[in-house]
Amino acid sequence: MARAATGGTNLEHARLFNRRVVLETIRLHGPLSRASIARQTGLSVQTISNITDELSQQGLLREGALRQGGGRGAPAIDLSLNPDGGFTFGISVDHRRLFVVLVDITGVVRRQVMKDIEGASPDQVLADIGELARTLARQEGAETERLWGAGVVMPMALDNGRPIVVGPTSMPDAWHQLPVIERLSASLQMPVLIENDATAAAVGEHLYGAGRRLEDFFYIYIGVGVGGGMILAGHPYRGSAGRAGELGHIVVEPNGRPCSCGNRGCLERYASLSAAQHALDGRPEGSVPVDPARLAADAERLGDWIDLAAQHLSTACVTIDNLLNPAAIVIGGIIPDVVLARLIARLRERLAATATDDRRLQIVQAELDLQTPALGGAALPLFDGLTPAFSILQKR
């Protein structure tokens, strides 16, 4: 059974932290009685009663049927999250498609829409996001005060919340350093978070896919480049400036192929879909858009690329294990399933050849599809609003 993120504290100045502890405990284990919540969090029954009464009045919790117990006293009442208590938007943008999903606080997708945006300017895409989000909220009957926020996901590196161009990318240069958060916050009138596609996909996989069974894992996202996302103790880890997990630019081949980051032999020069397409047609990487459908159709011709990619991914996986020792490494992205399955099979072979009995890396194929980043984006405000963060305890 999954465990609550942390225990609570009865310190008066930590009221907000305790609220999040209670919400996270109910999210993970609910429905639960007040007494059960107290046992799991270490908070007093009176503190739990005060917090849950407040959360119920705010519409975030709902009461279930009376649960008859074998002991004395009044029957216990189970509490669970109220699905209509809050909603978040997940917004995934790439050079071709815009996904917008509306998710309730229990993680259920209530509405979703996709729009073709190929060739659209950033200004038009941002306008489309605002229009589609407002439409979904209206269709679902989600009141403004119940909209917690939006998570925007892009296939770009981020520097302090702004997208930046580093290496091959399918996104136009016009997105570089665009103040996406500021503009969408003003348009949507709600908090907006931004994340790269790898970390968002890791969050989506953690909540909906292969990562449901894992408290710690590293996600390798294979797209136009190669990205990484970390889930540690059930939560995404971003680093101080949001650049944690930039796996594509670790050097796996000293003095190897030149990379736009300035180094030589970076992983994404060998294991990305840009490299795979170059292996097919010989054109310089980035000279034409990556076409995953074509790669799927020509999967039989990618044997040499798969061998080379698996060789360098094995180096990256061992490095990840040395640094983080996650329970598993999950691999997914926009790479076609037929190609991904062959790549993972070859990678497992290489790792098995060098593994010892006490050091066997678990390599897992991602279960979700192109919507995974959008689902992860929708979860970002939920993590921000539901899960406890020790920074809340720091006195300002």
Distance between CA atoms of residues 383 and 202, nearest Å: 13
Question: How confident is the model at residue 17, as a pLDDT?
Answer: 81
Going by pLDDT thresholds of 50, 70 and 90, the confidence category of residue 393 is very low
Q: What residue ranges define each of the domains in the chain, with the CATH number in brackets?
A: 12-81 (1.10.10.10), 86-200+373-385 (3.30.420.40), 210-367 (3.30.420.40)
Distance in angstroms (rounded) separating the CA atoms of residues 286 and 131: 32
pLDDT for 67: 62
For residue 29, count CB atoms less than 10 angstroms from its CB and return exposed for 0-12, middle for 13-18, buried for 19 or more. middle
* 98: confidence class by pLDDT, cuts 50, 70, 90: very high
Given the structure tokens 């798969």, which residue do they identify? Answer: 306
pTM: 0.80
Alpha-helix runs per DSSP H in 231-336: 268-271, 273-281, 292-297, 303-324
Contact at 8 Å (CB) between 215 and 205?
Answer: no
Other CB atoms closer than 10 Å to residue 26's CB: what's the count?
Answer: 24
Q: At what angle do helices 45-57 and 15-29 cross, to 10 degrees?
A: 80
Let me know if 357 is exposed, middle or buried by CB neighbors in 10 A (0-12, 13-18, 19+): exposed
User: Using CA atoms, how far apart are residues 350 and 344, in angstroms rounded to an integer?
Assistant: 10
Residues 165-217: pLDDT tens digits?
A: 765 566 778 888 889 999 999 999 999 999 888 888 898 888 888 888 888 99
DSSP state of 278: H
Please compute the mean of the pLDDT values over residues 67-73 and round it to a whole number.
54
H/E stretch holding 29 = helix 15-29
Nearest residue to 256 via CA among 312, 327, 176, 316: 312
Nearest to 323, CA basis, from 168, 216, 224: 216
- Top pLDDT among 182 and 394 is at 182
Q: pLDDT at residue 60 above 80?
A: yes
Residue 13 has pLDDT above 80, yes or no: no
Decide: 385 and 150 in contact? Cβ < 8 Å.
no
> What span, in angstroms and rounded, lies between the C-alpha atoms of 156 and 165?
7
* 376 within 8 A of 230, measured Cβ to Cβ: no
pLDDT at residue 392, as a whole number: 38
pLDDT tens per residue, range 249-294: 999 999 999 988 889 999 999 999 999 999 999 888 877 888 899 9
